[in-house]
A and B are shown apart, each in its own frame.
Chain A
Amino acid sequence: MRSASTDKEAQGGTGHTLDVEALRADFPILHQRVHGKPLVYFDNAATTQKPQAVIDTLVKYYREQNANIHRGVHYLSELATYEYEKTRGKIKLFLNAADTREIIFVRGTTEGINLVKDSFGRKFIGAGDEIVISAMEHHSNIVPWQLLCEEKGCILRVVPINDRGELDVEAYEALVNEKTKLVSMVYISNSLGTINPIKRIIAFAHARGVPVLVDGAQATSHLTVDVRNLDCDFFVMSGHKVFGPTGIGVLYGKMHLLESMPPYQAGGDMIRSVTFEKTTFNELPYKFEAGTPNVADVIALGTALDYVQKVGLSAIGDHENNLLRYATKKIGSLEGVRLIGTAAEKASVLSFVLDTVHAHDVGTILDQEGVAIRTGHHCTQPVMARFGVPATARASFAFYNTIAEIDVLTEGIKKVQEVFQA
């Protein structure tokens, strides 16, 4: 669990507690029955639900603001462009970036990583060079690098994790060497909940002149991210994991790196001038935003971030810590249940397996109780292999979840054991 002290420091510690019932009222989807039971939504690591404000923003955009941006002199185009660029400013503040030009809109974490691979990777990583990742990466932070290795002849190095699901920091420090051209590491593991000591990881790499990409997909909904304090070189996130829409995400990159990188895709908006002889590219951030972007979802992502900041990431962290502590105790003490991922520093993700029941059967029976969890490998097959399980059941909590819902989950697991006479 996160230590309260570092958390408070990082968050500025307002210490106020959440009025969870009031907040739940902001999320229309939560108030429904599934198979006749009240929905208990515990699949927040896969995607989070959207507050009414975000839904309203999308509706308002299409009803009142829709136009193509950066290319019209008419009223609506100027309005849409204004809203779009205003959101870039919000994201700059949310991540504490130095400059709005360092904020690139992409489809999500996956596209952000692929952009860095295609643009930075292809230009700066060559045969014999090494890329360091960890054994707890999501497939989206493994496969792009494997493709680059195939193409360029570079080598992927993987930092192992221990039995609690924590990064082996000593092994990491031994792996980084003069051949290392990039460290690409997850901040919070989606299948284990582990919070990596990312600042230390970055500092170590920087001391050897190696840039670091942080996969922040799971981080933004649980803790305050400050890219300048972390000093990361790239940071990627997905809007849908932080109460925003699907199909929109952010790549943050340090200005000097983005400037040194070639365009990722080519088309409209990313050019300054085109002739058949020569095309000059637009300046940052447009160099990396070819074509008509996802304007509506960008603006709605801004609303989501406003919402999260109003609730307060410090209070969110405290509440989620309580949920995690309670769930760990309740579910961890059930006979025949094994927790997968018991790191000292953990976000509100609880992965578990039952001795005699496969995760899918657990998921099906819990679903009949109205409880939505994720079962499977969570796009982290190497993590499953590391723990010797084919799949886990994963309950992941957001600030709108309650202790009472964890009781429903606990009873549901007992029901699974009953059905299987386990």
Chain B
Amino acid sequence: MSSVNELYQQLILDHNKNPRNCRHMDHPTKIAEGYNPLCGDHFTVFLEMDGDTIKDVSFQGAGCAISKASASMMTTAVKGVKKAEAEDLFQKFHTLVTRGMKSAVEDDIEELGCLGALAGVSEFPARIKCASLAWHALHGALASEDSKVVTTEE
């Protein structure tokens, strides 16, 4: 498979075209915005918490296929999980998109599930920020009491 087809896998194209949990949440417990000033990609992540558990998660915004598919896949991956598990998943996901599938251990690959489809991003350094934008917003929302804007320019 060429690296372009590796990047734009069927699963990613599908999440881009039909994003899951792409809706406004009227009464979120937490909310954060992810913004990439370089390309203007912009997402809002909404969380409904039940104690330490992410009871519901949704997102809204605009961006490229990679950022949108990643946001969509993230929501399916973290719905129903505990805050600490979501943070742990973010770390594993971050390693995956920066260092590629080869770097991940088998257990992690299993845990990442469909998120593994984004491993191809590691071949495209300029696009890593696209893949991690929604996750940064999630992280920001989980970490804070108030809503905030998170940028990928760290």
Contact = CB atoms under 8 A, between A and B. Distances in A.
Interface of A: 357-361, 364-365, 368, 375-377, 381, 384, 390-391, 419-421
Contacts of B2: 368
A414 B82 CA distance: 44
Contacts of B62: 390
Contacts of A358: 63-65
Contact of A421 (B13, B42, B66, B127): B13
B151 to A, nearest CB: 15
Interface string B50-75: 00000000000011111000000000
Contacts of B124: 364
Given A368-B3, A420-B65, A360 B39 contact: yes
Contacts, number: 49
B59 to A, nearest CB: 16
B92 to A, nearest CB: 24
B3 A361 contact: no
B40 interface: yes
Interface of B: 2-5, 7-8, 13, 38-42, 62-66, 124, 126-127, 130
Given A360-B130, A364-B124, A390-B62, A381 B4 contact: no
A361 B65 contact: yes
Given A376-B40, A419-B8, 4 more contacts: A361-B65, A364-B127, A368-B3, A377-B40
B4 A376 contact: no
A377 B64 CA distance: 13
Nearest to A419: B8
A376 B38 contact: yes
Contact of B7 (A364, A375, A384): A364
A360 B3 contact: no
Contacts of B40: 376-377, 381, 384, 390-391
Nearest to A363: B126
B13 A357 contact: no
Nearest to A357: B65
Contacts of A357: 65
Contacts of A421: 13
B64 A360 contact: yes
B64 A361 contact: yes
A251 B154 CA distance: 34
Nearest to A376: B39
23 contacts: A357-B65, A358-B63, A358-B65, A359-B64, A360-B66, A360-B127, A361-B64, A361-B66, A364-B4, A364-B7, A364-B124, A368-B2, A368-B3, A368-B4, A377-B39, A381-B40, A390-B40, A391-B39, A391-B40, A419-B4, A419-B8, A420-B8, A420-B65
Contacts of A381: 40
Contacts of B63: 358, 390
A391 B41 CA distance: 9
B34 to A, nearest CB: 14
